[in-house]
Structure 1
């Protein structure tokens, strides 16, 4: 029995399972820290806008590269180069976030005149956001974003009516897209970080604790038997949960 239990195949499966659970623990720990960060900010107040938004997106990028690695596995001994790229992509958001936060005041003073380091890290950050977008929702929106990046950079070479115009230097593009609140860290990220994430955390707590089922059962008990019952039950359920009904993602 012992010889059967300790076969190479069994040992490999145990090692793979151990790695999987370790990765799951890492992902869970990062997601938990992100939730605590948002709950803390919701209760005690948010830090400065760019600091808050860059930290939020840093968490998102790390989680994206951990949960959606190239090749489906974070580390694959048969594809060392791809595995190394996966690991590098996990740490790159941490590097760029440290670069932003360690000298936030200096970062602000360079608005409009980014340094070479700003341009390099900003370019990497833009590529990371595009890659994370590709991994989560596919190529279409990435292609649109790349087209308009090229349009801004080479507008003088695009003889396509309103796409034609003066070109914008890459340095200026990086400054606008990465270093200011009108680019990556604009209104959509602000709403996601300030409002939607808290709703998702709240919805997850309700789902995991089983409170959702209790509230829905109560709503149907109160209004389900009346004319227009489902609609009334949705209103009652929404009021009980303190949020809108429907998909938590929406």
Structure 2
């Protein structure tokens, strides 16, 4: 049987070994957490989208029910197609329907898709200047309708539009509301809090450049239509899916 001093010496040696092992184990840095791809979306704040592709930034803001307005900067040729600035800046408080100007390096993409050459040219122009142009639509007879924000003098655009449409019929529509304001209202209505039973309804919400308003389609009663029109005025056009319901 070991003497007391020998036992104490062995206990002290074992304690020292354990202390060294514990110190070495604690000195190792933890593995870094991998960042999730894409922006961090926090409702109520503008996300940091600088450096992203403009289409991804556009989708991220719409997911957050914010209104992206693209502003292309052709003079910036480096990293074309990516976001270089936001107005308001990332981290700013933002409510549903608020406008966020997305400044994008380079020229806007060339318009494709269906439609006449004039319609495609005007659609490209609308993407280039979303702050001036509310949208592009058409009358029942096929006349192109280019709707403009209230701060814009439509007469100053007459020659430019005529050169783009190349003989096609068109008219310039001055609006009482900007595209950002109408798309902001569209985002608010998308949450379906505008009536007590709204979340139970199948509704359609879109910006209509021809009427310069947001069109809301659904199975509304006559009283509900009157209530909505009184609340939103001429910024909203209510289209009941079944007329005359009371």
TM over 0.5: no
Which of the two has greater helix per residue? 1
Taking structure 1 as the reference length, what is the TM-score of the superposition?
Answer: 0.24
Taking structure 2 as the reference length, what is the TM-score of the superposition?
Answer: 0.24
Which of the two has greater strand per residue? 2
- Higher radius of gyration, 1 or 2: 2
